[in-house]
Structure formats: C-alpha cells, structure tokens
C-alpha cells in the first residue's frame, strides 16, 4: 500500500530566452522516470535525427488523418507549412508506465493540452524581470535587434497569460528553479484527488 506514483503530465511554458530548455535538461538528468515528449511533425528529418527519438516523422496526409482521429493532445501548423503535434498515445503510454512527461510548448499549446487533459500540471517559467529577459535575448547574440524586439514583445503577451497556469517558477538561479519544479512534482503527487485509491485501501474500502 503506497501513495500514488503514477506519472504526471507537465506542461512547461515561458518566453524565449527564459531558460526552459536548461531547466528541463536538468530534470531529465536528475530523474530517470521523467521523459521529454516526442512530437510528431511533417517536416523532413534533419541529419542525425531518428524517427521516434527526436520526432515522429509523418507525411501531411497521415498527420491530418491523425488529427481527424483525435490522436493529438495539441497540434499546430507553423507558418502555414509544417504541422507539429503531441501524440496522445505516447504520453498516455509513458504515464501508464509511471513515468512523468514534460511538454515544452507555447502558451496556446498549453491551453489546448489543459482542455484535452485536465489532469496536466501547467508550469510557467518567468525571468526575474522583463529587463533581465531582454538582456538575455541580446546576450544570445543569435538575432538581429529587430528580431530581439519582436521576441520581447511576444514575451510580454505570453507573460500576461501566465495567470492561466497552475504554477509560476522564477528562473533567477537555474538550480533553484529546478528545485522549485521538483517541489511542484512532489506536491502534485500528494494531492488528495490523485490518491483516492490509496485512501480507500487505507480505510478498508469504507471511503468513497
């Protein structure tokens, strides 16, 4: 007899440059029972990419058939070109195997997952301040000043929607942010709503 050890579906969102990928990589390194979701896409594989590891590569007809069958938790078409989506079966199989799954997706995708999978845990990563976020974007030195400004304006719109998430984690120091996410995972595992079977077993089936 033990508390619920089922996997959790973790939606991690936040503006570009906030450090989502760094936090998620640290979680994967620390916890063997956490997986990154593998998305499906209609774009062609890049050199070194493996089907089922980096993406599930599908042609457009097959992807649209999957949409029609309701096989995605969320999907989108980027720049009216390639589809990207989160296959429901991959996520459900991982959760059933007591592994948690991280979806690193944008706010719109997060809201779609929330609607399709209400039990998901939505975590929004924020910078300590918007000024620091802009400094990080500039410091990456990968985009023109115009592109940086565009990303910065997009970040404002995304942060305004953080209220729709379950948790806020401020990424000031990466190790502290990772610890906060780990604490959220532990707290979610202790929710009464996730432990009804344990409570019923604890009381000999007398609780409903």
Strand ranges, E, within the chain: 9-13, 34-36, 40-41, 56-57, 72-78, 82-87, 100-104, 121-126, 167-170
The CATH-assigned architecture of domain 9-37+100-202 is 3-Layer(aba) Sandwich (3.40)
pTM over the 0.75 mark: yes
Domain ranges of the chain: 9-37+100-202
In the prediction, which pLDDT does 139 show?
A: 87
Token look-up 């296959």 returns 87
Beta carbons within 10 angstroms of residue 11's beta carbon: 28
Residues (pLDDT < 70) of the chain are 1-5, 205-208
In the prediction, which pLDDT does 72 show?
A: 95
In the prediction, which pLDDT does 87 show?
A: 95
Q: Which helix (H) or strand (E) holds 135?
A: helix 130-140
């Amino acid at each position: 007899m033990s508390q619920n050890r089922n996997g959790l579906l973790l939606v991690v969102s936040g503006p570009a440059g906030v450090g989502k990928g760094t936090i998620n990589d640290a979680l994967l390194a620390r916890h063997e029972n956490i997986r990154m979701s593998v998305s499906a896409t209609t774009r062609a594989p890049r050199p070194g990419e493996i089907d089922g590891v980096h993406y599930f590569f599908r042609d457009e007809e097959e992807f649209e058939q999957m949409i029609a069958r309701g096989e995605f938790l969320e999907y989108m078409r980027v720049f009216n070109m390639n589809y990207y989506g989160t296959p429901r079966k991959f996520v459900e199989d991982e959760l059933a195997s007591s592994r948690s799954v991280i979806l690193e997706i944008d706010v719109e995708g997060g809201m779609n997952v929330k609607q399709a999978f209400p039990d998901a845990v939505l975590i929004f990563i924020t910078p300590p301040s918007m000024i620091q976020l802009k400094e990080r974007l500039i410091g990456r030195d990968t985009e023109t000043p115009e592109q940086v400004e565009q990303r910065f304006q997009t970040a404002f719109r995304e942060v305004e929607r953080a209220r729709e998430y379950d948790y806020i984690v401020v990424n000031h120091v990466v190790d502290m942010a990772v610890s906060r996410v780990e604490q959220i995972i532990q707290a979610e595992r202790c929710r009464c709503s996730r432990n009804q079977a344990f409570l019923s077993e604890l009381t000999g089936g007398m609780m409903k």
